[in-house]
Amino acid sequence: MDSEAVQSFCGVTGAEPDVAEQYLQVADRNVERAITLFFENGGQPLQAQGGAGAAPAAGPALGDDEVRAPIASRADVLVDGYGGGSAYHEPYGGIPIRHHHHMGGGGPAAAAAAASIFAQQPRTSSVPFRDFAQEAAEMTGGAESSSRRSRLADLFKPPFELMRAASLASARQLAEREAKWVLINLQDLSEFRCQALNRDVWSQETVREVVRAGYVFFQLPIDNAEGVRVATMYAADAYPFIAAVHPKTGELRARFARYTDLADFIEDLSNFSLNNPLSGRSGSGSGSAAGSGASRPASGARARPLPGVVYNMTEEEQLAAAIAASELSSSTQDNGAPVVVHSESEASSYGDIESISSGGPGMDVDDAGPAPEPQPGPADANADADAWYRQLPATEPPEPPAGPGATRIQLRFPDGRRVVRRFALDDRVAVVFQFLRATQPGAAASVPEVLFLGNRLADAAAQTIAAAGLANASVVVDV
């Protein structure tokens, strides 16, 4: 059988018998397959005998136990060859970042490349003076590449325009010079309520005016050492933490928790600063306080008491006003200066009266002619100034429906009552007084004292409610 297969292979291919035997062994004695392999291999012998001889030689080696070579040693080191060889780098305001690399993964070149990523920002340390304008520019400048990020940065950025001190100690010193309260705001940046406070409250111009008028604002995050110290000092248990602190003693005097409602928050800030004035805020303050008072908004000025309102004066101010009025009265009587000015006809009538009365003791003065009508004095001038109030209708004005053209005003009375009513934005402020005259029995005869941010609303009766800033406002009424 084998000889026939070899003869068949040799007859077809013309190869030698030993070559035919090699191909037949590979093809498992299949003549057709062996012939195909022969032509595919180009008629070359397979060298099977040499390979077969080498295979048994490798057999004993497979049975031997091979000892694996030991793993090469590798040293891991801490990177940083930059700036004194420190292993820590602080690119984000004191937050340490630790870097590692393997010596076998690129050598010194890889280490330099890894360090250069963070070397783009300088190493920072504790800065004694904070530049709020620079911080605002850094926060918004990095977001210029994306308009969305830029809008978010502007929307939630801290109120750098209100901040005037870099530390609580400097804020207290500044507030003591200007006779203002220190308004502390502790922020936990992980709380969205703190971010919303910057977006919805501190960005409002009305809130800023109230804060500038009576407070020195100081905002501090609690993720640094000073923030933790201040939070521990005042036992801050919820954030945002907003409180008024006495500038001289550092005592916590008030805590404001109604920051979610803008009208209530403005009311709380205004009432506290108005009801708790600090010494030195009247005209006898220091030069720095007097100088700063000129630049304060008129809506929050409390440097001098309101004219004719005694309950807004301190005891010293009431005593000084009484002494000044007494001196003015005595000086007028001593100088004999005429209080009123008469015309020539009235002067001649007075001359006739004087001559007749001096001519005889039994003379009746009424017979000399009609007496001149007295000119209005200071009391009459005040009455004329209140004439606009007496001309107001005694009926309650109609209340407009809720809408964009209407606003709500809260009226707070001395007995604790609170009345909230809608008024049209284009109505005059006098409409508020008309409502008080019609609804409050004590306001029927004289002008009630209505205060908003320390100003008398009677002086702005001719303005519109929108122009006077009374939209969603809270006013104090004394009837």
Tens digit of each residue's pLDDT, the chain (479 residues): 577 888 888 888 888 888 888 888 888 888 888 888 888 888 888 864 444 444 444 444 455 577 888 888 888 776 544 344 443 344 334 444 444 444 444 444 444 444 433 334 444 444 445 666 666 666 655 545 556 666 777 788 899 888 888 889 999 999 999 999 999 999 998 999 999 999 999 999 999 999 999 999 999 999 889 999 999 999 999 999 999 999 998 899 999 999 999 999 999 999 999 898 887 544 333 333 333 333 333 333 333 333 444 444 566 666 676 776 666 555 444 444 443 333 344 444 444 433 333 444 444 444 445 555 544 444 444 556 678 888 888 888 989 998 888 999 999 888 888 889 999 999 999 999 989 988 888 787 788 888 887 788 888 888 999 998 888 888 888 87
Length in residues, the chain: 479
Please say whether the dihedral angle defined by the alpha carbons of residues 74, 76, 82 and 83, taken in this order, is positive or negative. negative
| pLDDT for 134 | 65
- Does domain 168-303 correspond to CATH entry 3.40.30.10? yes
Q: What is the pLDDT of residue 27?
A: 84
Task: Look at the block and give the residue holding tokens 């870099």.
Answer: 166
Q: What share of the chain is helix, strand, coil (3-state, %, to 5)?
A: 45, 15, 40
pLDDT value of residue 133: 65
Nearest in space to 165 (alpha carbons), one of 215, 130, 207: 130
Specify whether the backbone of 477 is left (phi greater than 0), alpha (psi in -120 to 50) or beta.
beta
Residues in CB range of 125: below 8 A, 6 or more apart: 90, 94
pLDDT score, position 140: 57
Residues 290-294: contacts with CB under 8 Å, at least 24 apart: 292/178, 293/178
Q: Which CATH class is domain 2-47?
A: mainly alpha
- CATH no., domain 386-478: 3.10.20.90
Question: What is the per-residue pLDDT for 342?
Answer: 38
How do beta strands 181-187 and 241-245 pair? antiparallel
pLDDT score of 328: 56
Which residue intervals of the chain bear CATH 3.10.20.90? 386-478
Residue 262's DSSP bridge partners are none
